[in-house]
Amino acid sequence: MYTKAILFSLIAAASAQQVGTEQAETHPSMTWSKCTGTGGTSCASQSGKVVLDSNWRWVHKVGDYTNCYTDNEWDSTLCPDNASCATNCALEGGDYPGTYGINVSGNSNKLTFVTKGEYATNIGSRTYLMADDTNYQMFNLLDQEFTFDVDLSQLPCGLNGALYFVSMDKDGGMSKYPTNKAGAKYGTGYCDAQCPRDLKFINGMGNAEGWKPSSNDPNAGVGGHGSCCAEMDIWEANSMATAYTPHSCDTITQTMCDGDGCGGTYSADRYGGTCDPDGCDFNSYRQGDTSFYGKGMTVDTSKVFTVVTQFIGNPLTEIKRFYVQNGKTIPNSESTIAGVSGNSVTTEYCDAQKIAFGDNTSFADHGGMASMSKALGAGMVLVMSLWDDHYSNMLWLDSTYPTDSTKLGSVRGSCATSSGVPADVEASSASASVTYSNIKFTAMLSTPDTPGSGSPRHRWRETGEETEEETEEETGKETGKETGDRYSYHGRKQLSRRPWWLPTLPKLAYSKVLGS
């Protein structure tokens, strides 16, 4: 056994996914808040870091400047197979603002769409929140509330500023796959419910075998393997449209799939994999309210606003959405589609929506809310990204898709069906950016009738009105009345103490990236 162990370690070292030494990898620091106590009023600042996904990094020959991957093709000498690729190639550190357009300051992360560096032009980015330099920050979201501020006023049709959670390994797969020597420090281990096959490395090995360069993306291609796991899309949006969407999987943790058996965007059979590629989405425009979200609308995307998502129940029963803007709490829009009621994601909503729109039932087929509940409870990694879409021009988010469809549910936003072509948006909106800031993670009290509970009927008002009462700091006492129906979800009674998420009117301050 001892001899076999030594032999295995030598083989692993000889075929490991390597780390480069040409550019030091320095993770920019980003703070966020963890809140507890009645109403989530006690918040402690957390010192996190941000790391760039490995797929964006320079991959070169170990000890040399020779590219292992140029444009959208592998070097056939260095990467004749996946094992050789892991042996011969190294992931390099990055200049976050200079090369990738990632500017992190205080509690904000600003991602610029196109960045022209000294050696190459970078398009989009995908970043993760870290607990330290070698581990991702893990979030257990059951009975929790997640909030952040977002400025996406510059994002036009065709771009997607996406903030979401995936069931990646905490260390990026280092302990699970000994050939992965880069780990979370270099942004390895990505997975999602599309089981992406455009990843250059999966499970500590290259993805060069069977690689087919993209016909319309000069930087990407599709390999023989994909990487699957559960996905909770908190926020996919531009200034024109938005959706939040849970995606279920048979196996919630990261697993590798093969070829078209991966399903999802990158495969011939979209529904042939072990994960749900469609999800159960709540898009206000698609659900019938066309004046709720956009510039000058109820949620005014020309200005900064706060996005609040509550994961209610353990096990999960409901995913609820609110917004806060200009001192007002804005409940999510109600679905006006016949047979589909409500303004949150529940099993009942998902089942009714799939029937009304005639959509595939893959969300329920792969476990639905029960599967999502397991993923949320097991711990997930936070992703902050900005991207364009070489497969469907983001029309599934902000336009009519399929473009020739007249079916109910095909209209998802007001963008033209000719919009979102990557070559067009990369040329016309190169300087577009999205800023995520002021992230807060709050424990929700599980007792339904406890005043100050995280239950939405206690912590939120559905009126959208400004709070009229003064804070305790202003008056020296609480001014709310302890009436029996003070916490009625549908009533107009107000909280006796101003919650942490509601600023003192008329002041409303948002973090800005220094130098932006």
Mean pLDDT (whole number) for 477-506 = 31
- For 340-391, the pLDDT digits (tens) are 999 999 999 999 999 999 999 999 999 999 999 999 999 999 999 999 999 9
Domains of the chain: 2-445+466-475 (2.70.100.10)
Per-residue pLDDT, averaged over 41-46, amounts to 93
In this prediction, residues 71-86 reach a mean pLDDT of 98
What are the beta bridge partners of residue 255?
228
Q: Answer yes or no: is pLDDT of 494 > 60.
A: no
Q: What percent of the chain has pLDDT over 90?
A: 79
Q: What confidence category does residue 498 fall into, taking pLDDT thresholds of 50, 70 and 90?
A: very low
**CA pair distance 164, 382, nearest whole angstrom:** 6
pLDDT of residue 20: 85
Extract the tokens encoding 404: 């020739």
pTM: 0.85
- pLDDT level of residue 468 (50, 70, 90 thresholds): very low
348 catalytic residue (yes or no): no
Can you give the pLDDT at residue 37? Answer: 75
Beta bridge partners of 126: 385
Instruction: Residue 205: name the closest of 228, 177, 227 by CA.
Output: 177
Segment 132-151 shows an average pLDDT of: 98
Mean pLDDT of 50-78: 97
Confidence bin at 444 (pLDDT 50/70/90): confident
Say whether pLDDT at 496 is over 70. no
Going by pLDDT thresholds of 50, 70 and 90, the confidence category of residue 284 is very high
Give the residue, 195 or 515, on which the prediction is more confident.
195
Higher pLDDT, 445 or 106: 106
pLDDT at 503: 36
Question: What pLDDT is stored for residue 263 in this prediction?
Answer: 97
pLDDT of residue 484: 31
Residue corresponding to tokens 């905490």: 170
168 contacts 190 by C-beta, under 8 angstroms: yes
* DSSP code string of 29-43: EEEEEEEESGGG-EE
Q: What is the pLDDT of residue 448?
A: 33
35-49, 165-179, 475-489, range with the lowest pLDDT: 475-489
pLDDT bracket for residue 41 (50, 70, 90): confident
Q: Is the pLDDT of residue 505 over 60?
A: no
Of the candidates 109, 137, 108, 136, which has an alpha carbon nearest to the alpha carbon of residue 125?
109
Q: Contact 201/57 with Cβ under 8 angstroms?
A: no
What mean pLDDT do residues 466-474 have? 36
Whether a cis peptide bond, with omega within 30° of 0, leads into 506 is yes
pLDDT range class, residue 118, cuts 50, 70, 90: confident
Query: What was the pLDDT predicted at 194?
Result: 98
Between 492 and 462, name the one with better pLDDT. Answer: 462
Two tokens, residue 298 = 């109820």
Whether the per-residue pLDDT at 245 is higher than 60: the answer is yes
Mean pLDDT of the chain, nearest integer: 86
d(C-alpha 409, C-alpha 401), whole Å: 9
462 classed as catalytic: no
Mean pLDDT of the region 295-302? 99
Q: At what angle do helices 347-357 and 368-378 cross, to 10 degrees?
A: 130
Map tokens 């769409």 to a residue: 113
Q: Mean per-residue pLDDT for 302-310?
A: 98
> What percent of the chain is predicted at pLDDT more than 70?
82
Structure confidence at residue 18 (pLDDT): 81
- The reported pLDDT for the residue numbered 429 is 99
- Whether the per-residue pLDDT at 157 is higher than 90: the answer is yes
Q: How far apart are CA 364 and CA 370, in angstroms?
A: 9
**Cβ neighbours for 411, distance < 8 A, ≥ 6 positions apart:** 285, 286, 399, 400
Q: Can you give the pLDDT at residue 119? A: 82
pLDDT at 189 over 90: yes
Assess whether pLDDT exceeds 80 at residue 415.
Answer: yes
Answer whether residue 45 shows pLDDT above 90: yes
| Annotated catalytic residue, options 25, 92, 231, 426 | 231
Pick the closest to residue 310 from 435, 202, 459, 120 (CA basis): 459
- 8 has a pLDDT exceeding 80: no
Q: 464-494 burial by CB neighbour count: b if 16+ within 10 A, else e? A: eeebebebeeeeeeeeeeeeeeebeeeeeeb
Catalytic residue among 92, 236, 426, 462: 236
Q: What is the pLDDT of residue 40?
A: 76
What mean pLDDT do residues 176-196 have?
A: 97
Tell me the average pLDDT across 415-433: 99
